[in-house]
Amino acid sequence: MTMYEDYKSCIDASLDCASACHYCASSCTAEDDVTMLADCIRLDMECAAICTATATLLSLGSEKSKELCWICADLCMECAEECEKHQMNHCRQCAVACRECAAQCRVVAAA
């Protein structure tokens, strides 16, 4: 149980990020120019998937958790950078969640 408690902040940030990414992708599809948001939607979906997987493996105490955290951090930053190109509130919120998740993942990965 110690590992779970050690990783709780990262698990929470990963799940929050996945939720924000799902919301952002869904909201992007309702915007007027969906084509312009294709990269944002794709990255949102990829980021949500890796964040969910990261939270799951951290919760399980997987030996691969740290490696996955590096990948998750990279993808979260890529998603944040894309979302920051757009002015919609859902993109802005997603970027914040992505940056927080990336920071938490780097802490775990570096430990």
Q: Where do the structural domains in the chain lie, given as residue ranges?
A: 2-110
| pLDDT above 70: residue 1 | no
| pTM more than 0.85 | yes
- For residue range 15-66, list pLDDT tens digits in order: 999 999 999 999 999 988 889 899 999 999 999 999 999 999 999 988 899 9
As a whole number of angstroms, the distance between CA 1 and CA 81 comes to 35
CATH of region 2-110: 1.20.1270.360
Which are the contacts of 21, defined by CB distance < 8 A and separation ≥ 6? Answer: 44, 45, 47, 48, 51, 79, 94, 97, 98
